[in-house]
Chains A and B, each alone.
Chain A
Amino acid sequence: MDETVAEYIRRTVLKIPRDEIKSMLQKWGFLSEKQLQTINFHQIKENVSQDVVQLCEANSADIKQAAVLDIIYNHIYPNKRVWSVYQMNKTGEETEIFDLTDFKKKFKRQLQSALKNVTISFREYEDNAIWIRIAWGTPYKKPNQYKTSYVVYHSQTPYVFISASVLKSNLPLLCQALVLASNYHDIREMELRSHSLNSLKDIVFKRYSQNFQTYHPRPLQERNVAPESTDVRIIQENRNEKERIQRVNREVFGDGPQPKLEFAQYKLETMFKSDPKMDVLDKKEPFRCLVKFYSPHLLESLKALAPAGIADAPLSPLLTCIPQKARNYFKIREKKGLFPGSFVSP
């Protein structure tokens, strides 16, 4: 077995939490159950990985099999990577039946004709998700197995989730290969990025609980909000306002858990509006400014702002439109015309 393959397998096993190693190797299926039983999974990970490598040696593992183990790892722990969402378009109404073999063949052919040295691996999952792992090389260098890109394509949808890695220069090639293999016409980046792959899927597939516009101007009589304290001696003077905030919040965010995003970025290219006497800027040009919101769970923390009394309800639509618009990167420019203001560019 190639030394680089052995090292790669060893490092991949070391990434896996010790309690999960056995089940992941079972999913991999490359080592037989009998072989797995010879490994003591309670020893330190360093030793477990050595044992695994020895068994793989006995089975003559090559890079293709090692790549499958890597896909399995990333499928179970996708949140270690940052995913961007892309949408493909096709003109015309033709709905062709998706042919997996044809897709794989075309995709491989596209990439391999441009770059002779690439390792391409596929794995299909039940939810129509095709996982593609690509290790990039150059015409002169073997593929670097540690600098991989991942693509998750749901064949019944036009959406592709890409975790590009540092080699951004290969991105156009990757996009082109996807478009051609899937019989679409073009692909665009959606300005939507997160560590949580499932949350990105929730947003684009509209699987999160959405707010329903209520057309009742007056609140419904029933008290859905559980009383904050059951002690009747505590009286909330601002109960009406608190309930209004809860209601508005519920209308905007819905009832269920929010998709998990870590940041929202707003690039402002608007004019600086100041007191004319201050005369901060001599030239009348847009004031460039970047505002970035970070959070372990951005949408849940936005949802908590008004009830915590930190912000007024309703929140700015620039913040609350994130799941509906399926984007967390925005460019805000001046609205040209009679009414000065700002608008969000598409």
Chain B
Amino acid sequence: HLATSLPLPSERDHLRPRIDLIVFMIDIKSKYSLKNVEASLAHVDASFFLGKVCFLVTGVGRMNYCSVEMNAVWKLGEVYGSPVLFCELELEGIRVATAQRLLRMLQICAGHVPGVSALSFGSLMRNSVDD
């Protein structure tokens, strides 16, 4: 399900399945996209932040057009206790690899991987970054 911001339109509530993972996409070229994500975070139920939220920063192949403070992005990940991933959508290889990572995360969050919970995976990701 793609959305431009949160909250989601209520008229489609009855058509929506359970949400297992929320990926917030921040375009490094657009300050507006960071603001939009920050505003949308306020509408997310606290339970999602136990491993079911992740930030995806796109456009990292073009750092010369960077409009977003990287510190702000790291801070966001820290404050909300969620992992920050980076990718460049214009390169097919990276796009595919990122999609596979997200899919794997989604499988864990949906409970399809025995022995690994969203929370344990989330803390694993966080700890590896701090190292």
Q: Please determine whether A240 and B9 come into contact, CB atoms closer than 8 angstroms.
A: yes
B1-20 residues with Cβ-Cβ distance < 8 A to A are: 1-5, 8-9, 11-12
Give chain B's interface secondary structure class: loop
Q: Please determine whether A310 and B1 come into contact, CB atoms closer than 8 angstroms.
A: no
Q: Please determine whether B2 and A236 come into contact, CB atoms closer than 8 angstroms.
A: yes
The size class of the interface chain B forms with chain A is 10 to 19
What are the interface flags for A227-268 relative to B under an 8 Å C-beta threshold, 1 for contact and 0 otherwise?
000000011111011100000000000000000000000000
The size class of the interface chain A forms with chain B is 10 to 19
For A235, give its contact among B2, B4, B5 (CB under 8 Å): B2
Q: Please determine whether B2 and A237 come into contact, CB atoms closer than 8 angstroms.
A: yes
Q: Please determine whether A238 and B1 come into contact, CB atoms closer than 8 angstroms.
A: no
CB distance from A185 to the nearest CB of B (A): 51
A240 to B8, CA, bound (A): 12
Q: Which residue of A lies closest to B5 (CB)?
A: A238
CB distance from A156 to the nearest CB of B (A): 48
What are the interface flags for A111-148 relative to B under an 8 Å C-beta threshold, 1 for contact and 0 otherwise?
00000000000000000000000000000000000000
A240 to B3, CA, bound (A): 11
Is A309 at the interface (CB under 8 A from chain B)?
Answer: yes
Q: Please determine whether B32 and A235 come into contact, CB atoms closer than 8 angstroms.
A: no
A28 to B2, CA, bound (A): 59
Q: Please determine whether A309 and B2 come into contact, CB atoms closer than 8 angstroms.
A: no
For A238, give its contact among B4, B30, B32 (CB under 8 Å): B4
* Chain A residues whose CB sits within 8 angstroms of the CB of B2 once the complex forms: 234-238
Q: Please determine whether B1 and A241 come into contact, CB atoms closer than 8 angstroms.
A: no
For A309, give its contact among B4, B8, B9, B11 (CB under 8 Å): B4
Give chain A's interface secondary structure class: loop
* Chain A residues whose CB sits within 8 angstroms of the CB of B4 once the complex forms: 237-238, 241-242, 309
Q: Please determine whether B3 and A237 come into contact, CB atoms closer than 8 angstroms.
A: yes
A74 to B14, CA, bound (A): 63
CB distance from A325 to the nearest CB of B (A): 29
What are the interface flags for A82-113 relative to B under an 8 Å C-beta threshold, 1 for contact and 0 otherwise?
00000000000000000000000000000000
A234 to B3, CA, bound (A): 11
* Chain A residues whose CB sits within 8 angstroms of the CB of B9 once the complex forms: 237-238, 240-241
CB distance from B112 to the nearest CB of A (A): 17
* Chain B residues whose CB sits within 8 angstroms of the CB of A242 once the complex forms: 4
CB distance from B58 to the nearest CB of A (A): 14
A234 to B28, CA, bound (A): 24
CB distance from B110 to the nearest CB of A (A): 15
Q: Which residue of B lies closest to A236 (CB)?
A: B2
Q: Please determine whether A237 and B8 come into contact, CB atoms closer than 8 angstroms.
A: yes
For B12, give its contact among A234, A237, A309, A310 (CB under 8 Å): A237
* Chain B residues whose CB sits within 8 angstroms of the CB of A241 once the complex forms: 4, 9
Q: Which residue of B lies closest to A235 (CB)?
A: B1
* Chain A residues whose CB sits within 8 angstroms of the CB of B12 once the complex forms: 237
A241 to B3, CA, bound (A): 10
B86-103 residues with Cβ-Cβ distance < 8 A to A are: none
* Chain A residues whose CB sits within 8 angstroms of the CB of B11 once the complex forms: 240
A293-346 residues with Cβ-Cβ distance < 8 A to B are: 309-310
What are 9 A-B contacts with C-beta separation under 8 Å? Answer: A234-B1, A234-B2, A235-B1, A237-B1, A238-B3, A238-B4, A242-B4, A309-B4, A310-B32
Binding site for A on B (CB under 8 A): 1-5, 8-9, 11-12, 30, 32
The 5 closest A-B pairs by CB, nearest first: A237-B3, A235-B1, A238-B4, A237-B8, A236-B2
Beyond A236-B1, A238-B2, 6 additional contacts (C-beta under 8 Å) are: A234-B2, A235-B1, A235-B2, A237-B2, A309-B32, A310-B32
